[in-house]
Structure 1
Amino acid sequence: MKTLWLGAASAAALICASAPALAANAPDLSQAPRMGPWGFDAAGRDMSVAPSKDFFDYANGGYLTRLEIPADRSRYGAFDALNELSQNRMRAVVEKASANTAATGDEAKVGAFYRSFMDEAAVDALGAKPMAADLAAIAAIKSRDEMAGLMGATMRKFGGSFFGSYVHDDAKDPEKYTVYLLQGGLGLPDRDYYLDDKFKTQKTAYEAYVAKLLTLAGWEKPAENAAAIVALETEIAKVSWTRAERRDDDRTYNPFEVAKLQAYAPGFAWKRFLDGANLSKAERVIVSENTAFPKIAAIYAGASLDTLKAWSAFNLADQAAPYLAKDFNQANYEFRNKTLSGQPVQQPRWKRGVTGVDSNLGEALGKVYVAAYFPAENKAKMEALVGDIRTAMGARIEKLDWMGPATKAKALEKLSKFRVKIAYPDKWRDYSGLSIKDGDLYGNIQRASAFEWDYRAARLGGPVDDDEWGMTPPTINAYYQPTKNEIVFPAAILQPPFFDPQGDPAINYGGIGGVIGHEITHGFDDQGRKSDGDGKLTDWWTAEDAAKFDAQAKKFGKQYAAVEVLPGANINGDLTMGENIADLGGLLLALDAYHISLKGQPAPVIDGLTGDQRVFLGWAQVWRGKYRDDRMRQQLVSDPHSPPKYRVQVPVKNIDAFYEAFGVKPGDGMYVAPADRVRIW
């Protein structure tokens, strides 16, 4: 799945007896604020900076100068402000459900889940007891083969595994579900945290965190086992693929018959693993990082059983910590949020509570959210915008001078088959089989996780549900799904600064239009281009056209790789390639679509700004924000998206219309010579 913003919200756990009620005279926190009278925050600019010198600072510098990252955040900006709005709205929904003890159906489940999370006193009183049976099951393991079965089972609930798994559309047979297997075993955000001296402090803190949780869980020899666990994971990191390597859709599609997997990667009991994960009927799997699998299996086989048990106990405690007593919860926050991301203060319990409801009962919550907060007319306006962007993409494909007619025909066919989903699903999930109980937070999380896992496992080998959504309506995000060849826009993103129904069309085209264009372009980025109009991973390009595309993509990657965001920390142009191409294409399409919408009439001038200038400003406004340094370093090694500033700066330098709009000349900070500008879509 290609997203507009990956990892926008940190994982949360839920707490206190009750969140404080909003005062009667408090501001209405459920209403989306407008960005000035015509959709743009003109006061957020820094007029002392010329747009030709630094466009991002010109567009957002005033706002950023005044912005202080809230203490319970590791970053803050346009996405985060909307996320807070969404959280406030979800809070109103879940608190109403929580107060209605006579509720039935989905409302009763939402209310009971939230109550179980907010009853902090009851959670604290239980200490580590909720984990007791699971810890005992780990301690009772007698062999590595038995441990492999337990690792499969823990994927349904809490716990870790040396190998991950999920059921998803088969990339080469997208009408059927299949099992994917991928490398796992690491507790830090990326392999670089184990291998790069820049993260030595974080690695040391991680070992202390492992020891802390093992101590709290009552596991024997916590310090000794923590050292063994980190040493074990370091060995796994050494043989793991990089994130950039894992982006390659061709390299990561490696089908294996389950019967032959044991011989390929001996040392790990694959059938026991799949049986434990309720995937017994799988006869064929897709192995992602195929060359890493035998090496990780060998590490597993060579590890002592005691270390594997301690590793499993830690992973159980780590994943469960946000839903356990305060000492577990605090330790988890101190390391995961404060040490790794620089977040000074933990989020209030109610915020973590509504996030938990959204994560585990997302469509039950989303159905009420949409009814309360999403105007039906916004869906029709979005459909019109999507239509203009699609028209613009078709025109751009037809005019490409580097692409031959055979590839163009296939590209246009793919574009014609794009499926579009806006705001919310046409059919909602049925949660009737999920049991949610008051006073059982740990159990509620486990049952919700197993319910979701088993729902997907049961579909293995069956027809794909084309109506399914991969995000809930209150999510501030969007995505492109290659196997379905679809673009999806949840309800919560369809508001300022992305989309203002009363705002200037140019700002809307630069905002939500750029987002729409971004997702459409994902279907034609360096990986999305490998799937055809039916979602099948197949090569539909001529060799000559593919070589021309790759040359421009590499040229684009070098522009990003040259950017030093923090001392000694540059953007990874290979890891961020797909998102960067989507940003460039999205902005180009937004500009073209705005021109289409004018129907030959001149664009109005507003506050001295031309239509094209406002499109660029609409895009820049979406990406305004700040990061704490630790969070930024984490993003640079683990996130396929470039930092927000460079999602503006680098693409616009490659768009000729930007130079015309703002009078950029040779010698200006934003200038790139025409011959060096990247031309893809």
Structure 2
Amino acid sequence: MNINKAVMLALPAILVGAAAFVQRPPAKKPAKVPAFDLTSLDRSVDPCTDFDQFANGNWKKNNPIPGTESGWGAFNVLDKENKEVRVKGIILNIVQKSNLAKGTEEQQISDFYRSFVDTVTIAKRGVSPLAPWFDKINAVQTLADWAKVCGELQQYNISTIWGFGVGADAKNSKWNTLYEGQDGLTLGEKSYYERTDSATVKVRRELVATINQLASLAAFPETNPGQTILDFETKLAKFQLANVELRDPVKNYNKSNFAELKTLAPSFDWDGFTAAQGLTPDTIVLQNKQYLQQADALVKSTPIETLKLYTRWQLLGHYASLLSKPFDDANFHFFGTVMAGRKEQKDRVTRGIRATDAYLGMPLGKLFAKQYFPESSKQKVSEMIENVRTVFGQRIDQLSWMSDSTKKMAHTKLASFTYKIGYPDKWKDYSTIDINPATLVENVMATEKWRHKDNLSKLGKPVDKTDWGMTPQTVNAYYNPLNNEVVFPAGILQPPFFNPDADDAINYGGIIAVIGHEFTHGFDDEGSQYDADGNLKNWWTASDRANFDKLTSKYADYFSGIEVLPGFNINGKLTLGENTADLGGLTLAYYALKNSFKGKAEPKPIDGFTWQQRFFLGWAQVWHGNQTEASLRNQVQTNPHAPARNRINGPFPHLKEFADAWHCKNSKMALADTARVVIW
């Protein structure tokens, strides 16, 4: 379960050459990466009608989605470069080495990769790596037995109807505490179990077929286990909070003593569950007390054989992609094709590279950062961040809907923002993870158990604010409200987010808007509920909060009115935080760019576009992309980010600066002043 909210977006790496010790002829300057590729434009489209199509139409036409992907855009291209070129080079270089000492990061990386690409051994082993766990589950006779097994499985990232995790206490953010939360739905979100449209009904039908197929391969004895599991999960989903409700940090914070948890769900042996994980908690933050009561009643009324089947499925479904080809193929058909629209799997080498990165990402990240992100690059990003901080302060001062007392608190929070750039200042010790070249499933289990143990070891201790929630090679960024920090991994400081050869307008529309996006998360509908110290504490006057809620509700309603596929609209409340951050990030970046011209002559047009127009082209370039319908349906039901197209055409109509730049009046991309939403 996700304890510390990490709201994500992306940025990449700046390469700086080392100084030479001997005099050499000047190096040939590398070819410039185009700041904005004019061939991306579809000039047949009016930018005031559909800016995404105008800016990116030809790019989308000339860059169809590869069969191995559910979508293809700037993030995917850069992620492929980082993972399938740079990280791949690191891994394959290590694999060529021999006699690597046991427990070293190079040995772990090499042997994990070898275990993934050794399909002969994987085929021979079949489902046998899971057999001891199937036996353990099959031996369950009572609910107490089941609770203990659930606790043991959670060590391997397999949660059933609820899960535990340790993170900063939302009301005392300097100390770690234990959290409980709902879990256990194969489809991830309750709407998949409730919607009656044909596409969602088909997903459920395919899920039943896939479970039946995988269960048959694993020699489960039950008849039609897929329907039994779907029926159980449908009942469970009925009690769970929807993803919009999960965004309310106040309602979902219910600090209790452990005795109350036992009272709320008395049928479950909580002592056995925690003991299996080496936990002896006295306090815990409960997510939803009503869910605990309802799920407990469901468990009590469910035959033990059904609970055992459900648990075996959770285990099998978690590891199916790591088993022999029949399991892997069946798993991909559902989760890759049905849910995401992918037509084919990546090749085994590429999957091995990505799997190694997924499970040993930080050891790899250390090597990635050393090779691709020199210390000197941090200073450049730091300067960008401080520029955004300055403009944000100016925007706060100009707000007409916020009182002076709340503005003072907003300035305090803004001044308290900290940031991390590139990679961790200190690296954890992974040497105790036992990785072997012929035991893929056990290798994954070893990494997951290490992570679980590492997480639980923080309980009752001060928060280590040097911890990172992403690896350095990740094409993303995030804001952590509990630390009041923004984090920018090395993986995203590259074109199209940042291009040292581009003019300022393109960079401000890219990397500066991304930085502004993350800053704005500290003041979105969720982040604004945390104070300067990262505590869940109201720092608003009642009237200011009412004004803010009115603005954000209007913005949520606007996005909820956007239909992306027949019958599938954006969920404005689910995506409110990200949409608010986009609007704020664009505003901050635009005025940071404008400030940078003070005392100077404004730049002349480039390729026929003014600096104002190029700023918006820069943002559009970041979000150009294509997406499968299956992936799009999944995104609008489960993802707090709006689809990429709507991250362009969505916020622009609310920016008068956009309408002025492109001379838009009475058009789809230019709302009337009374309809525009201006928050920060």
The question of a shared fold, defined as TM-score above 0.5 by the shorter chain, is answered with yes
1:291 Cα deviation from its structure 2 partner: 2.4
**What is the distance in 2 between the residues matched to 1:200 and 1:43?**
41
1:453 to 2:452 alignment? yes
Contact 2:478 2:487 in 1 (8 A): yes
User: 1:201 is matched by which residue type in structure 2?
Assistant: K
Contact 1:158 1:320 in 2 (8 A): no
* Aligned with 2:60 (options 64, 68, 80): 64
2:533 aligns to what SS in structure 1?
coil
Partner residue, 1:658:
658
**What is the distance in 2 between the residues matched to 1:192 and 1:664?**
38
1:468 aligns to what SS in structure 2?
coil
Contact 2:571 2:636 in 1 (8 A): yes
**What is the distance in 2 between the residues matched to 1:40 and 1:253?**
46
Q: How do 1:197-216 and structure 2 match up within 5 A?
A: 197-198=196-197, 199-216=200-217
Q: Deviations 1:152-198 (Å, cap 9, x if unpaired)?
A: 22111153311022111111111111111111121113211111112
* Aligned with 1:101 (options 93, 98, 103): 98
User: 2:262 is matched by which residue type in structure 1?
Assistant: Q
Q: How do 1:13-28 and structure 2 match up within 5 A?
A: none
Q: Deviations 1:65-107 (Å, cap 9, x if unpaired)?
A: 2221000001110000011101121111111112212233111
Mind listing any 5+ residue stretches in structure 1 that lack a counterpart?
Answer: 7-31
1:417 Cα deviation from its structure 2 partner: 0.7
1:412 to 2:411 alignment? yes
**What is the distance in 2 between the residues matched to 1:665 and 1:569?**
29
1:83 to 2:74 alignment? no
Contact 2:652 2:670 in 1 (8 A): no
1:41 to 2:37 alignment? yes
**What is the distance in 2 between the residues matched to 1:368 and 1:174?**
32
1:265 Cα deviation from its structure 2 partner: 2.6
Partner residue, 1:256:
256
Q: How do 1:27-426 and structure 2 match up within 5 A?
A: 35-36=33-34, 39-87=35-83, 88-104=85-101, 105-157=104-156, 159-198=158-197, 199-223=200-224, 225-278=225-278, 280-426=279-425
Contact 2:6 2:469 in 1 (8 A): no
**What is the distance in 2 between the residues matched to 1:2 and 1:405?**
30
Q: TM-score, normalised by structure 2?
A: 0.94
1:142 Cα deviation from its structure 2 partner: 1.5
User: 1:265 is matched by which residue type in structure 2?
Assistant: A
**What is the distance in 2 between the residues matched to 1:141 and 1:617?**
60
Contact 2:636 2:642 in 1 (8 A): yes
1:507 to 2:527 alignment? no
Contact 1:212 1:222 in 2 (8 A): no
**What is the distance in 2 between the residues matched to 1:409 and 1:349?**
55
**What is the distance in 1 between the residues matched to 2:514 and 2:500?**
16
User: 2:233 is matched by which residue type in structure 1?
Assistant: E
Q: Deviations 1:21-69 (Å, cap 9, x if unpaired)?
A: xxxxxxxxxxx99651xx1122111111121111111111110122210
Partner residue, 1:25:
none
**What is the distance in 2 between the residues matched to 1:109 and 1:467?**
24
2:479 aligns to what SS in structure 1?
strand
Q: How do 1:428-577 and structure 2 match up within 5 A?
A: 428-577=427-576
1:611 Cα deviation from its structure 2 partner: 1.4
1:167 aligns to what SS in structure 2?
strand
1:487 aligns to what SS in structure 2?
strand
Contact 1:425 1:468 in 2 (8 A): yes
2:645 aligns to what SS in structure 1?
helix
The 1:207–1:484 alpha-carbon spacing in structure 2 relative to 1, beyond 3 Å, is same
**What is the distance in 2 between the residues matched to 1:34 and 1:678?**
38
1:214 Cα deviation from its structure 2 partner: 1.5
User: 1:73 is matched by which residue type in structure 2?
Assistant: E
1:281 Cα deviation from its structure 2 partner: 2.4
1:644 aligns to what SS in structure 2?
coil
User: 2:300 is matched by which residue type in structure 1?
Assistant: A
User: 1:615 is matched by which residue type in structure 2?
Assistant: F
Mind listing any 5+ residue stretches in structure 2 that lack a counterpart?
Answer: 11-29
User: 2:164 is matched by which residue type in structure 1?
Assistant: S
**What is the distance in 1 between the residues matched to 2:559 and 2:442?**
45
Q: TM-score, normalised by structure 1?
A: 0.94
- Count of matched residue positions in the alignment of Structure 1 and Structure 2: 651
- Which shows bigger deviation, 555-564 or 214-223? 214-223
Q: Deviations 1:357-386 (Å, cap 9, x if unpaired)?
A: 222211110011112222443322111111
**What is the distance in 2 between the residues matched to 1:591 and 1:102?**
55
1:671 Cα deviation from its structure 2 partner: 1.9
1:286 Cα deviation from its structure 2 partner: 1.1
Partner residue, 1:627:
627
- Which shows bigger deviation, 212-221 or 462-471? 212-221
1:243 aligns to what SS in structure 2?
coil
Contact 1:5 1:641 in 2 (8 A): no
- Which shows bigger deviation, 581-590 or 378-387? 378-387
**What is the distance in 2 between the residues matched to 1:298 and 1:602?**
71
Contact 1:358 1:472 in 2 (8 A): no
Two-structure CA RMSD over aligned residues (Å): 1.4
Contact 2:653 2:668 in 1 (8 A): no
User: 1:445 is matched by which residue type in structure 2?
Assistant: V
**What is the distance in 2 between the residues matched to 1:448 and 1:33?**
41
**What is the distance in 2 between the residues matched to 1:505 and 1:114?**
41
**What is the distance in 1 between the residues matched to 2:223 and 2:128?**
18
User: 2:216 is matched by which residue type in structure 1?
Assistant: T
Contact 1:255 1:285 in 2 (8 A): yes
Contact 1:160 1:316 in 2 (8 A): no
1:175 aligns to what SS in structure 2?
strand
User: 2:316 is matched by which residue type in structure 1?
Assistant: A
1:211 Cα deviation from its structure 2 partner: 1.4
Contact 1:266 1:298 in 2 (8 A): no
Identity of aligned residues (%): 37
Contact 1:166 1:180 in 2 (8 A): yes
* Aligned with 1:4 (options 1, 4, 8): 8
- Which shows bigger deviation, 491-500 or 177-186? 177-186
User: 2:387 is matched by which residue type in structure 1?
Assistant: D
Contact 2:112 2:436 in 1 (8 A): yes
User: 1:577 is matched by which residue type in structure 2?
Assistant: L
User: 2:208 is matched by which residue type in structure 1?
Assistant: E
Contact 1:514 1:590 in 2 (8 A): yes
Contact 1:576 1:639 in 2 (8 A): yes
The 1:222–1:448 alpha-carbon spacing in structure 2 relative to 1, beyond 3 Å, is farther
1:598 Cα deviation from its structure 2 partner: 2.2
**What is the distance in 2 between the residues matched to 1:544 and 1:637?**
33
Contact 1:258 1:271 in 2 (8 A): no
Q: Deviations 1:567-602 (Å, cap 9, x if unpaired)?
A: 111000011010110000000011011122223323
Contact 1:159 1:315 in 2 (8 A): yes
**What is the distance in 2 between the residues matched to 1:33 and 1:268?**
64
Contact 1:246 1:289 in 2 (8 A): no
**What is the distance in 2 between the residues matched to 1:129 and 1:34?**
53
User: 1:94 is matched by which residue type in structure 2?
Assistant: I
**What is the distance in 2 between the residues matched to 1:429 and 1:361?**
12
Contact 1:164 1:182 in 2 (8 A): yes
**What is the distance in 1 between the residues matched to 2:157 and 2:573?**
33
**What is the distance in 2 between the residues matched to 1:548 and 1:533?**
21
1:398 Cα deviation from its structure 2 partner: 1.1
1:516 Cα deviation from its structure 2 partner: 0.4
